[in-house]
Chains A and B, each alone.
Chain A
């Protein structure tokens, strides 16, 4: 448990992706089975433990600590698990010769009743140090939020075993904690585990961005085009009674979409875009990304959400037809062939839940450019180009598939706050909050509409940093407010991919993927945009 606790302590405070991967990979290297496997499962949240309620923990600590001293402490620390981990008094006599292992904790908890849980937890708290207690409490209360996605943990496994991350993703859903066969393979001590699970994930094929310079090298006749929909890329897989919906990175998100699962009465694997929409006379009318967000990242879906925001899959590709044993893996076939098979396959599916992403017929890239600048639906974010002869391969090979995104939206905004960055940027003000004007024309005020921390060069960052330091009006810890008045301040052109309504932001809008596209040193803040200009872009 001590190694795991130390790892968590480091991960929580390490902002850089590469730093986290290194910490994880080193941990896997120096930790034996089954400890590391349970740690991995805790991080990817594949551990199913009987949880202990915060009220039970409060009761445990109340038996040991004066309530007034606890109240002062909790008030100071702010986090219940952290307060308890720090304040827990060392027992008069230590019971164990060594602190418990994570594997012992997981194995013991999986065999105990809810009633016995708190007693066990109390005994472990006695045997652990403060870091270990914190890790234990986060684990048993189900609050292990440490800024590490399952995807990042898989990347660390890939680095550790020097394999491609898609290999891990492909295997993942057939494996169970503590993953001993996986570690044996990654350490070169065993064979590659075969995925025995039905309805496995198949690593996704991705497109590279189309550069204008690429056109002379491309022949329009080699490519099919289709719209790029602004939802989330998914894989819907059904096999031998098992139905799963995977995200692009292989996370199982089935539980959030029972409406689609119900309609998956097929055998095969469809690659498509998950969207929200309703079946009309001419097919499904897709809703906005904001509508889709009503259905994302939810543990439980209510009947109202299901009826207000019905989900469907707009199919791009067919990867498997039939089950693994008797059916056919279509991935080696050319795209044109897979697409024919897909057309026939989708025809038999529930039209409320599955439809086809239509191909866009074109004869020249000039013609296609015209389509791109006037897409037929607001939630189209551009075009996809796919070579007719391209097999479906994992990863992002350059050449067979291109994405050709619509030009971003831009807005001229005023910088109002700046925050210090992390790592290499820790001495720079590099994270900026920007605002636009709102209120009466003769007495406007600035309302923040977003945050951005890239889109500028190192040289521009130096200038931005100097501007912040020389124009600070107030400080709040690592954040500084900067001068932003009609005739004094800094205007930036911000590029973004779309706009959603937001109830969380005062402005009522939330930008997708904002970044600086130009610094407008020349422009006085009074000439920056007004909120109304953004509101016009809201769709739906």
Chain B
């Protein structure tokens, strides 16, 4: 069979006609397989959702109990049979519970990697390469200028700045699911044991991570009660990236804006967003991780989704691997 018969792009997202399901659909469908809990991949309103327990928990936290008609939890490596074809989830290393989905029929296997990374991450299970005929890869940072440094190096820059400017509060912008907990966890690994203050939007997810055995240390709300004399001088505050341009940030003395994101590799990006201390910490593969992964898996064919597809397709062509862009819509290119 041709791979296009097994999986094909549609306006709803990737569709598997023989299995009658969609993967990470951007619109409500009858049966959805979800790779991870980020909002552009995991949407509410599907009839039935198959995902890891963590991803289901995260969707429930974000959308409430009624986020789907029914759900089914799957563990990594477990074989699920749907309409006579086989589906397996494998760790993707992106955020807690994130998975790649391997779809197989008649000896043809396609791996949908979702979002993934190869860098170490103390808050989730590492990426597992799975041999396949077609590998579907993201391309968020698919330009050879994106090379993420060691995350510990970036955290060292943050802690140095905290020591250097003790009268200011360091506000770290980090996406609420995954990045925020990873940054906090890295700060703890670097030996920082003072309380870390968090924006209200992070509370539920941080509590959930802690309940899953990921130690984030002493977290306190970055709120001021009436008459509170604390001023957050010298503190590290973590909040969603939108928060530090928001009026919320005004409670901090002379805030020093930091942003933990792979986009911070580009100086102009940092400058435009008023970021004083860029922290290049990403939950997506950088260029080398993408190309090394493709080499390692050595699929017959590569399909490229959201991001800078053209550069990765070009690389595959130079490497002699058939590749094409999928042109899926609805996935945020910016979120990291």
Interface residues of A (CB under 8 A from B): 6, 9-10, 12-15, 19, 22-23, 26, 65-66, 68-70, 72-73, 76-79, 82-83, 86-87, 89, 129-130, 420, 422-424, 426-428, 477-478
Contacts and interface: CB of A to CB of B under 8 A. Distances in A.
B235 interface: no
B315 interface: yes
Contacts of A13: 267, 270-271, 275-278
B143 A19 contact: no
B311 interface: yes
A463 B272 CA distance: 24
B147 A86 contact: yes
Contacts of B277: 10, 13
B270 A477 contact: no
B79 interface: no
B244 A426 contact: yes
A87 B245 contact: no
A312 to B, nearest CB: 41
Nearest to A134: B267
Given A86-B265, A422-B274, A76 B254 contact: no
B145 A426 contact: no
A73 B144 CA distance: 7
Contacts of B268: 77-79
A478 B272 contact: yes
B24 to A, nearest CB: 26
A426 B257 contact: yes
B276 A72 contact: no
Contacts of B315: 66, 69
Given A26-B164, A427-B244, A77 B145 contact: yes
29 contacts: A9-B267, A10-B161, A13-B267, A13-B271, A13-B276, A14-B276, A19-B276, A69-B144, A69-B311, A72-B311, A72-B314, A73-B143, A76-B143, A77-B266, A79-B267, A79-B268, A82-B266, A82-B267, A129-B149, A130-B265, A420-B274, A422-B274, A422-B276, A426-B249, A426-B257, A427-B244, A427-B246, A427-B247, A478-B274
B250 interface: yes
Contact of B273 (A69, A70, A79, A478): A478
Contacts of B143: 69, 72-73, 76
Contacts of A129: 149
Interface string B258-270: 0000000111101
Contacts of A69: 143-144, 311, 314-315
Given A66-B314, A66-B318, A130 B270 contact: no
Contact of A427 (B249, B265, B310, B318): B249
B255 interface: yes
B123 to A, nearest CB: 26
B145 A86 contact: yes
B192 to A, nearest CB: 20
B39 to A, nearest CB: 22
B314 A68 contact: yes
A12 B267 contact: yes
Contacts of B273: 477-478
A477 B274 CA distance: 10
A10 B279 CA distance: 11
A19 B265 CA distance: 22
A129 B278 CA distance: 16
A70 B271 CA distance: 23
B85 interface: no
B190 interface: no
Contacts of A22: 164-165
A133 to B, nearest CB: 11
Contacts of A422: 274, 276
Contacts of B60: none
A296 to B, nearest CB: 27
Contacts of A73: 143-145, 311
Interface in B153-198: 157, 161, 164-165
B48 interface: no
- Of B145, B248, B271, most buried by chain A (CB within 10 Å of CB) is B145
Given A13-B278, A73-B311, A77-B266, 10 more contacts: A12-B267, A13-B270, A26-B164, A66-B318, A69-B315, A86-B144, A86-B145, A426-B245, A426-B249, A427-B245
A214 B252 CA distance: 39
B27 interface: no
A73 B273 CA distance: 21
Contacts of B311: 69, 72-73
Contacts of A78: 268
A19 B273 CA distance: 18
Contacts of A89: 144
Contacts of B250: 427-428
B18 to A, nearest CB: 36
Interface in B133-161: 143-147, 149, 157, 161
Contacts of A83: 145
A15 B276 CA distance: 8
Contacts of A19: 165, 276
A420 B244 CA distance: 11
Interface in B41-88: none
B324 interface: no
B309 to A, nearest CB: 11
B154 to A, nearest CB: 12
A496 B145 CA distance: 45
A424 B169 CA distance: 11
A87 B147 CA distance: 8
B65 to A, nearest CB: 35
Interface string B218-256: 000000000000000000000000001111111000111
A72 B308 contact: yes
Contacts of A6: 157
Contacts of A77: 145, 266, 268
A78 B276 CA distance: 20
A473 B247 CA distance: 19
A13 B310 CA distance: 31
B149 A130 contact: yes
Nearest to B274: A426
A86 B246 CA distance: 32
- Of B147, B149, B277, most buried by chain A (CB within 10 Å of CB) is B147
Contacts of B278: 13
Contacts of A12: 267, 271
Given A130-B149, A422-B274, A65 B144 contact: yes
A490 B100 CA distance: 54
A424 B278 CA distance: 18
Given A13-B271, A26-B164, A478-B272, A76 B314 contact: no
Nearest to A74: B145
Contacts of A9: 267
Nearest to B314: A68
Closest 6 CB pairs of A and B: A86-B145, A427-B249, A73-B145, A72-B311, A87-B144, A73-B143
Contacts of B145: 73, 76-77, 83, 86-87
B111 to A, nearest CB: 25
Nearest to A68: B314
